[in-house]
Amino acid sequence: MKILVPIDGSTYSENSLAFVASRTSLLGHSPEIELLVVLDPLPARAARLVGKDSLMRYYEEEAEKIFAPARKFLVGHNIHVNEAFIVGDPAEKISEEATRLNVDLIIMGSRGRTALAGLFLGSVTNGVLARTKNPILIVRNKNAPDRDGMRVGVCVDGSKYGSAAVKYAIRNGDLFGDGAQFYLINVTSDYAGTVMPDMAGMALPALSESEVIELQKKEFAEAVDPIRPLLAKGGIAPKEVCLVGNPGDEIAAFAKKKKLDLIVMGSHGYGRFKSAVMGSTAMRIAAQGDVPILLIRR
């Protein structure tokens, strides 16, 4: 497995490194891990004044300030990685490096904000999401799992993106650890809120309780039935979870209740000129908790 871990010396980068160090099964198979530092370029005038050789030494020294503590942490966990630094726009360079290396996963720390702050993931994270199709794991403020086998929620909605999330989980089982517990999650509509006016114009329930239950069962089956053979073939026996209501809210609440270590879901994104590149459901989940989210974009 090829993994790209961009770092900048912040506590959010430390969260990413701690997550990597927690993956015993994955590390046992010697994944190829690259630490990447992206430095902002000096202004053109300053760069001309210092000269090419001095400029390169400056960048090397600045990169080493970031690499040194990360290297110390990883060596302490007997983890060996490649190191590279690039000068330029962080989101652009991270995306280019992910494409060049054809990585299986990007692991990024993100500062996060409140649900009311709008763009709560940070400009670099959003920029990478908008530019790459590589799977990306967004680690926020949650502590790294204290065991190898994680509690993982895999979200499906009947779309090809949900299927892609399931296939990724099957192909990369080492990432989730030995003895990982999987929850296959689908959120159905709350048909109980459907009403129709009577002759006097008053709102009356359009569906009986039994009809609502049958519709929810049908919706759940349509999303989950195509997935079951894939999971069975991949040797994964998840607990199936049917939630009702707004997908983002319900998944976030379930993740908190079950103390999930990770949520895996597909996301189509919207392109680099849109802010909501995660998709509305992933954004609502991220806004309401700190559980890491693994987004599968292709």
Cα separation of 58 and 138, whole Å? 30
The per-residue pLDDT for range 33-47, each reduced to its tens digit, is 999 999 988 777 766
Q: What is the DSSP string of 63-96?
A: HHHHHHHHHHHHHHTT---EEEEEES-HHHHHHH
CA distance 165 to 154: 7
Write the pLDDT tens digit of every residue in 99-154. Answer: 999 999 999 987 644 333 334 456 788 888 888 889 999 998 888 999 999 999 99
Q: Which domain holds residue 55?
A: 2-296
Given this model, what pLDDT does residue 132 score?
87
Phi, psi dihedrals of residue 230, rounded to the nearest 5°:
-65, -45
CATH code of the domain in which 260 resides:
3.40.50.12370
One digit per residue, the tens of pLDDT, for the chain of length 298 reads: 999 999 999 888 999 999 999 999 999 999 999 999 999 887 777 667 676 778 889 899 999 999 999 999 999 999 999 999 999 999 999 999 999 999 999 999 876 443 333 344 567 888 888 888 899 999 988 889 999 999 999 999 998 989 999 999 999 999 999 999 999 999 998 876 554 455 555 554 567 888 888 999 999 999 999 999 999 999 999 999 999 999 999 999 999 999 999 999 998 654 444 444 556 788 788 878 889 999 997 6
* Counted domains in the chain: 1
pTM for this predicted structure: 0.88
Cα dihedral 178, 281, 111, 175 in deg (nearest 10) = 20
Task: Judge whether 34 and 3 are in contact, CB under 8 Å.
Answer: yes
What is the rounded radius of gyration, in angstroms, for the C-alpha atoms of the chain?
22
- Residue among 8, 4, 296 nearest 157 (CA): 296
Identity of the amino acid at 218: K
